[in-house]
Amino acid sequence: MDSIVVTGGSELTGQIPIAGAKNACLALMPATLLTEEPLTLMNAPRLSDIKTMTLLLQSLGSEVQSLADERVIAMSSLGPLSTTADYDIVRKMRASNLVLGPLLAREGEAVVSLPGGCAIGARPMDIHITALEALGAEIELRDGYLHAKAPGGLKGARVPFRFASVGATENTLMAATLAKGTTVIENAAREPEIIDLAACLSKMGAQIEGAGTSTIEVQGVDRLGGATHSVVTDRIELGTYMLAPAICGGDIECLGGRLDLVTAFAEKLDAAGISVEETEAGLRVARKNGRVTAIDVSTQPFPGFPTDLQAQMMALMCTADGVSHLEETIFENRFMHAPELLRMGADIEVHGGTATVTGVERLKGAPVMATDLRASVSLILAGLAAEGDTVVNRVYHLDRGYEHVEEKLGAVGAKIERVPVE
Ligand code: EPZ
């Protein structure tokens, strides 16, 4: 397990390339199960989660090749396909559950291990199950696996969601493309990754209206064809790197960054005293003057402030001028970065779903532990601003969602290196 050592104090200048979105790619890859024709994804991110999804699809019988330095994923699922998604793979990555909808639609059955909880919460699948049952699936939970059957095929239906679940929207959307008749998803998630998935499915021949709004309508078709699709920019990686010059000073251009993907987040940065400006090549971010101002944040489904940027924003607020209240409304346990930031001298009090952060002049470097993907990167950001060295352990969490973070930050002046730990 490697560690990453960050020596704080350097201002950052230059350009950081933003990769394709992990959370779009993890939904796009299972779409190969919906067709026997080739599906090729461009601008894919080079991440361990993508490798995990590759292994899962290969275990089901899909052919998946990473080409062009892993930027291109060429897939084909001629079949016959296995319909069992193994616990050993699913437990590593919750997004494995995104094969449920496509397998049901293609094969009329799916056996998918329940992902089990993870560091940030129990993460049940009731919304997925209710939705697919509305489309005619019979789903039974047995020995920790979801056993789903739709022997006569899926039938379109009205599917109201109690919560705008991203994964449940993706599973239901993919299943509905091959259902007989019309499906209407109400209170659907509106994330850009949903829009990207719908765009790819449409290229494959799906009939989808309303992706990106709360109501998505799908006319089922008999079969889908292949496609070539470029993965949308990763708005969470983008937001993360926008915070780097915010926390330690400097002026960074995030190449490929799109303001429409991070509008609510950029508004909060502006309120905190960080300038965000659109350029030909992306988004340019700089600290306007001196210390940032403490602001309040409440995480919401898109287009609200993303839960996946809450930990990173907390790192910025640790050195802000004033008191900030960060409310986490999406997951029940997503403040595990707080105890690690406290080790660096931060002043944070967590009560239920709200963290109150009183900014300090300077954080102090310390050995800290990564616990989940976004908590890990918040510790890297804090290390950029801290006095002395910060050693972030268990960085395998980081490699799930960030390509070579030490290379991208090192290239713009950060003192950061990866240290292999035996
Ligand atoms: C996706 O997870 C993302 N992962 C998460 O990113 C992200 O935090 C989350 O959406 C919210 O934006 C991928 O896209 C691979 P949800 P997902 O279903 O689909 C509850 C990262 O860091 N819920 O919208 O699992 C659930 O427990 C990851 O890249 C139910 O109760 O999120 C959670 O509290 C972390 N029942 C909330 O809804 C269900 O059936 C949001 O879950 C489904 C979800």
The domain limits of the chain are 2-18+233-420, 22-228
d(CA 309, CA 374): 7
Helix (H, G, I), strand (E, B), or coil: what is residue 145? strand
Residue 1 near residue 48 (C-beta atoms within 8 A): no
Q: Name the residue with the closest Cα to ligand 1, atom 1.
A: 166
Does the beta carbon of 196 lie inside 6 Å of ligand 1? no
In the predicted model, is pLDDT for residue 122 greater than 90? no
pLDDT, the chain, mean: 95
pLDDT the model gives residue 371: 86
- Ligand 1 pocket, mutate which of 47, 166, 332, 334 (most atoms under 8 A from CB): 166
Distance in Å, CA 67 to ligand 1 centroid: 29
d(CA 319, CA 247): 8
- What are 124's two structure tokens? 């049940």
Residue 112 near residue 143 (C-beta atoms within 8 A): no
d(CA 143, CA 146): 8
Matching fold, domains 2-18+233-420 and 22-228: yes
* Tens of pLDDT, residues 17-53: 999 999 999 999 999 999 999 999 999 999 999 999 9
Residue 41 near residue 64 (C-beta atoms within 8 A): no
Does the beta carbon of 130 lie inside 6 Å of ligand 1? no
Q: What percent of the chain has pLDDT over 70?
A: 99
pLDDT the model gives residue 114: 85
pLDDT the model gives residue 79: 86
Instruction: Give the pLDDT band (50/70/90) at residue 370.
Output: confident
Residue 130 alpha carbon, nearest atom of ligand 1: 40
**Mean of pLDDT values over 116-122:** 68
Does the beta carbon of 132 lie inside 6 Å of ligand 1? no
Does the beta carbon of 128 lie inside 6 Å of ligand 1? yes
Q: Name the residue with the closest Cα to ligand 1, atom 31.
A: 124
Which residues are within 8 A (CB) of 141 and not within 5 positions of it... i.e. 6 or more apart? 114, 147
Does the beta carbon of 365 lie inside 6 Å of ligand 1? no
Residue 301 alpha carbon, nearest atom of ligand 1: 12
Q: Name the residue with the closest Cα to ligand 1, atom 3.
A: 23
d(CA 230, CA 374): 24
Does the beta carbon of 127 lie inside 6 Å of ligand 1? yes
Strands (E) located in 18-131: 39-42, 63-67, 72-76, 84-85, 109-113
**Mean of pLDDT values over 351-361:** 97
> Which residues are annotated as catalytic?
118
pTM over 0.75, yes/no: yes
Strands (E) located in 68-169: 72-76, 84-85, 109-113, 138-142, 145-149, 158-160
* Tens of pLDDT, residues 259-290: 999 999 999 999 999 999 999 999 999 997 78
Whether domain 2-18+233-420 has CATH 3.65.10.10: the reply is yes
Phi, psi of 211 (to 5 degrees): -60, 135
Count the Cβ atoms, other than its own, within 10 Å of residue 104: 29
| DSSP single-letter state for residue 153 | -
Instruction: Give the pLDDT band (50/70/90) at residue 116.
Output: low
Instruction: Give the pLDDT band (50/70/90) at residue 356.
Output: very high
Residue 98 near residue 26 (C-beta atoms within 8 A): yes
In the predicted model, is pLDDT for residue 384 greater than 90? yes
**Mean of pLDDT values over 140-162:** 94
Q: Which CATH number fits domain 22-228: 3.40.50.720, 3.30.70.270, 3.10.25.10, 3.65.10.10?
A: 3.65.10.10
